[in-house]
């Protein structure tokens, strides 16, 4: 998959939604309706979703592989200007960061495979 464009539309800082985002894949397909949200564990990317009759949010489109999800999240957060922990909203499981920036140095973390939901 080749993400050829990322658009970020930053919003007012007063709410949890910090930005709306869209990506273009291979200059042929646009996925809009993504959000950059600020949660209790930091910034994360929500895939396009819709609320069902049980008042639960369900993704309407999402990456199938971990690699595709990581590529999308990285592209959106890089364009937004941050590198922080993210949440997998399709299963409501917090995904720990594999790296963080501390004192301008990248620090690697050991993320166990069984911790990942995909």
Domain of residue 33: give its range: 3-115
Helix (H) / strand (E) element for 79: namely helix 66-80
- CATH of residue 26's domain is 3.30.1120.40
Across the chain, where does the E strand assignment appear?
A: 3-10, 17-25, 29-39, 42-46, 49-51, 57-59, 86-88, 93-95, 99-102, 105-108
Q: What is the pLDDT along the chain (118 residues), one digit of tens a residue?
A: 999 999 999 988 778 899 999 999 999 999 999 999 988 888 899 999 999 999 998 999 999 999 999 999 999 999 998 533 444 444 343 344 444 444 455 545 444 444 444 3
Q: Answer whether 0.75 is exceeded by the pTM.
A: no
* pLDDT of the residue at 66: 93
pLDDT score recorded for residue 34: 96
Residues 6+ apart with CB under 8 A from 6: 21, 22, 23, 24, 75, 76, 78, 79
pLDDT score, position 103: 47
Count of domains for the chain: 1
Point out which residues pair with 95 in neighbouring strands: 86
């Amino acid at each position: 998959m080749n993400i050829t464009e990322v658009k970020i539309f930053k919003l007012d800082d007063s709410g949890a939604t910090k930005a709306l985002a869209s990506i273009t894949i291979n200059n042929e397909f646009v996925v809009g309706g993504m959000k950059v949200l600020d949660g209790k564990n930091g910034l994360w990317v929500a895939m396009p979703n819709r609320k069902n009759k049980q008042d639960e949010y369900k993704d309407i489109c999402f990456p199938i592989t971990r690699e595709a999800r990581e590529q999308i999240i990285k592209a959106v957060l890089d364009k937004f200007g941050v590198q922080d922990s993210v949440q997998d909203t399709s299963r409501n499981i917090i995904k720990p960061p594999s790296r963080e920036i501390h004192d301008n140095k990248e620090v690697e973390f050991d993320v166990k495979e069984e911790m990942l939901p995909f």
